[in-house]
């Protein structure tokens, strides 16, 4: 079997470092030894594939997927949409996109979350979808609220939605967080600011997208996700690959 | 200035945070919202090969259990074939090779059931991906088996420090159960890969 075409090396200077001391939990959960670099083998080139049979038809509608019939959650109704692309700007179809978030008051439906803001009986806070042939996805949800966390005494997370994305390869696996344009908490947050590259932070910030807004119904934000790109197959008679 | 290359840049990673379970393993965390939870049955009912259980604990740099971790598993079938079009061959109906596991909230101990994979480009192994609060970029590692000949595996042999290779070997106990503890930091720190 020939050597599979590899994915582009991940730029570790763009991503947050493992040890980011202002994000206190990272201090004891960060490896101290250098990562061992592996060329991609079939174990990393492959990855789980998901289809529409794996998920429910309404799993991407958080206004609906936990609400009592006829009711809906309280909060700013939004459409969160965008595309999953690779570094070659090609769409990634059939990518599984999973999200989770707090409700409009910043409270998660999780037994470990004891924040005094109340739970919303009509809001679960998780959803999932699969990108179409153009790499496009969308969710309907409410805009999450900021919430406090025990890091420094008065730290507040900016409003955010957690995103988990599977491309076509294990090497592309990514979990990140999407922030909202104009949120003044973004520059204050030790988790966001663990990212050393300001442009990379901008890339995590969803833009208000009035063109995708449904008048008198829901406002829209656009969030594109970029996964690692891949080299062309290395042909024997064309060693340069591309 | 040279011309600009027209590549996009990968989206930066962020920690999965403390509530990753409600998004990725809601049922396992006691939150019934989806009909079908992904990653619950790695091998399926038709899989060939030996049925095994893997269990362990993830510890931080103080030796404390990481109780809010989530681990994903990616593996080949007993013939060393992945359920993916680029892997040469077919897998049994229902074999996914993908799993997700979270620990018991009280103890931090996790376990999953699967089949032992066949050899793939070297010794049999499971690919693991570890995320949690405090982990800024998901950690890739591999699990090898103590009852296999791992001496010629190209990835293990890439690790210059021979004593660190042992951190990737799951120890077989009774009843086809393997123990695999992961240490995020410090003495016996598990080897993590940049893949």
CA nearest neighbour of A27 among B172, B22, B184, B88:
B184
Nearest CB to A176 within list B14, B18, B19? B14
Q: What pLDDT shows up at residue B11?
A: 98
Mutate to test the interface with B, among A2, A15, A36 (most CBs of B within 10 A): A36
For the cut 80, the answer to whether the pLDDT of residue A237 exceeds it is no
Q: What pLDDT shows up at residue B55?
A: 98
Q: Does residue A32 fall inside a structural domain?
A: no
B42 CA: distance to closest CA in chain A (Å): 11
Q: Does residue A76 fall inside a structural domain?
A: yes
| pLDDT-derived band at A189, boundaries 50, 70, 90 | very high
CA nearest neighbour of A166 among A225, A124, A231, A206:
A225
Residues of A in contact with B14 (CB under 8 A): 16, 162, 175-177, 191-192, 195, 204
Stronger pLDDT, B62 or A1, i.e. the higher one: B62
| pLDDT-derived band at A242, boundaries 50, 70, 90 | very low
Q: What pLDDT shows up at residue B153?
A: 98
Q: What pLDDT shows up at residue A3?
A: 72
Cβ atoms of B73 and B53 closer than 8 Å: no
* Distance between start and end Cα atoms, chain B: 32
In chain A, alpha helices (H): 25-28, 42-45, 198-202
Looking up residue A110, the CATH number of its domain turns out to be 2.60.130.10
Is B194 touching A (CB cutoff 8 A)?
yes
Residues of B in contact with A54 (CB under 8 A): 36, 38
Q: Which residues of A are catalytic?
A: 108, 147, 157, 160, 162
**Residue A129 to residue B151: CA distance in whole angstroms:** 42
A210 CA: distance to closest CA in chain B (Å): 23
Q: Does residue A155 fall inside a structural domain?
A: yes
State pLDDT tens for residues B143-154.
Answer: 999 999 999 999
For chain B, give the number of residues.
Answer: 195
Domain of residue A189, residue span: 53-226
B136 and A46: CB-CB below 8 Å? Answer: no
Share of chain A above pLDDT 90, in %: 93
Q: What pLDDT shows up at residue B182?
A: 98
Ramachandran angles phi, psi of A200, nearest 5°: -70, -30
CATH number for B20-29+36-183 (one of 3.40.50.970, 3.30.2000.10, 2.60.130.10, 3.30.70.260): it is 2.60.130.10
Calculate the alpha carbon distances from A150 to A124, A157, B106 in Å: 23, 10, 20
Q: What value of ipTM does the predicted structure carry? A: 0.97
Is B132 touching A (CB cutoff 8 A)?
yes
The domain spans of chain B are 20-29+36-183
What is the average pLDDT value for chain A, to the nearest integer? 95
Q: What pLDDT shows up at residue A241?
A: 45
Q: What pLDDT shows up at residue B103?
A: 97
State pLDDT tens for residues A199-234.
Answer: 999 999 999 999 999 999 999 999 999 999 999 865
Residues of A in contact with B90 (CB under 8 A): none
- Identify the segments of chain B with pLDDT beneath 50: none
DSSP string for residues in A45-64: H------GGGS-TTTTBTTT
Calculate the alpha carbon distances from A102 to A111, A130, A199, B29, B36 in Å: 13, 22, 26, 16, 22
Q: What pLDDT shows up at residue A240?
A: 47
Q: What pLDDT shows up at residue A2?
A: 60
Q: Does residue A132 fall inside a structural domain?
A: yes
State pLDDT tens for residues A113-141.
Answer: 999 999 999 999 999 999 999 999 999 99
Residues of A in contact with B88 (CB under 8 A): 1
What's the total number of domains in chain A? 1
B2 CA: distance to closest CA in chain A (Å): 19
Q: What pLDDT shows up at residue A152?
A: 97
**Residue A185 to residue A177: CA distance in whole angstroms:** 14
B31 and A124: CB-CB below 8 Å? Answer: yes
SS3 letters across chain B: CCCCCCCCCCCCCCCCCCCHHHHHCCCCCCCCCCCCCCCCCCCCCCCCCCEEEEEEEEECCCCCECCCCEEEEECCCCCCCCCCCCCCCCCCCCCCCEEEECCCCCCCEEEEEEECCCCCCCCCEEEEEEECCCCCCCEEEEEEECCCCCCCCHHHHHCCCHHHHHHHEEEECCCCEEECCEECCCCCCCCCEEC
Q: What pLDDT shows up at residue B1?
A: 87
Is B113 touching A (CB cutoff 8 A)?
no
Q: What pLDDT shows up at residue A234?
A: 54
Share of chain A above pLDDT 70, in %: 95
CA nearest neighbour of A170 among B160, B181, B76, B112:
B76
State pLDDT tens for residues A69-102.
Answer: 999 999 999 999 999 999 999 999 999 999 999 9
For the cut 60, the answer to whether the pLDDT of residue A11 exceeds it is yes
Chains A & B: contacts with CB separation below 8 Å: 248
Element (H, E) at A68: none
For the cut 70, the answer to whether the pLDDT of residue A239 exceeds it is no
The set of residues, in sequence order, having a beta carbon less than 8 Å from that of A130 and lying 6+ positions away, is: A50, A51, A52, A54, A55, A94, A95, A96, A97, A137
């Amino acid at each position: 079997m020939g050597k599979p075409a590899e994915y582009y090396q991940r730029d570790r200077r763009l991503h947050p470092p493992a040890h980011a001391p202002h994000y206190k939990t990272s201090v004891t959960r960060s490896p101290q030894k250098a990562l061992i670099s592996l060329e991609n083998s079939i174990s990393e080139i492959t990855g789980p594939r998901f289809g529409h049979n794996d998920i429910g038809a309404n799993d991407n509608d958080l206004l609906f997927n936990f609400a009592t019939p006829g009711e809906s959650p309280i909060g700013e109704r939004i459409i969160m949409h965008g595309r999953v692309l690779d570094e070659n700007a090609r769409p990634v179809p059939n990518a599984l996109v999973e999200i989770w978030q707090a409700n409009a008051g910043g409270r998660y439906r999780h037994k470990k979350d004891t924040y005094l803001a109340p739970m919303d009986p009509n809001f679960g806070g998780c959803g999932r979808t699969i990108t179409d042939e153009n790499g496009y996805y969308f969710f309907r949800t409410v805009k999450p609220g900021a919430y406090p966390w025990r890091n420094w005494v008065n730290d507040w997370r900016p409003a955010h939605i957690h995103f988990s994305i599977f491309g076509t390869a294990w090497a592309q696996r990514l979990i990140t967080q999407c922030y909202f344009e104009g949120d003044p908490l973004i520059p204050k947050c030790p988790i966001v600011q663990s990212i050393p590259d300001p442009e990379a932070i901008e890339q995590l910030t969803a833009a208000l997208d009035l063109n995708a807004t449904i008048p008198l119904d829901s406002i829209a934000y656009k969030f594109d996700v970029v996964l690692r790109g891949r080299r062309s197959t290395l042909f024997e008679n064309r060693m340069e690959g591309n | 200035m040279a011309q600009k290359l027209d590549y996009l840049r990968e989206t930066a990673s962020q920690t999965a945070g403390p509530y990753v379970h409600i998004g990725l393993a809601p049922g396992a965390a006691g939150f019934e919202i989806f009909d079908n939870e992904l990653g619950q049955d790695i091998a399926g009912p038709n899989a060939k090969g030996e049925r095994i259980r893997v269990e362990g604990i993830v510890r931080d740099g103080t030796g404390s259990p990481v109780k809010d971790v989530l681990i994903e598993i990616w593996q080949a079938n007993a013939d060393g074939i992945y359920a993916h079009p680029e892997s040469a061959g077919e897998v049994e109906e229902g074999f996914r090779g993908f799993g997700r596991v979270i620990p018991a909230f009280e103890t931090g101990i996790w376990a999953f059931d699967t089949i032992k994979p066949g050899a793939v480009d070297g010794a049999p192994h499971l690919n693991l991906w570890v995320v949690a609060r405090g982990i800024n970029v998901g950690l890739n590692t591999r699990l090898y088996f103590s009852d296999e000949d791992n001496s010629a595996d190209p990835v293990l042999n890439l690790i210059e420090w021979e004593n660190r290779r042992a951190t990737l070997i799951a120890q077989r106990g009774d009843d086809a159960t393997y123990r695999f503890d992961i240490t995020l930091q410090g003495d016996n720190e598990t080897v993590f890969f940049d893949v």
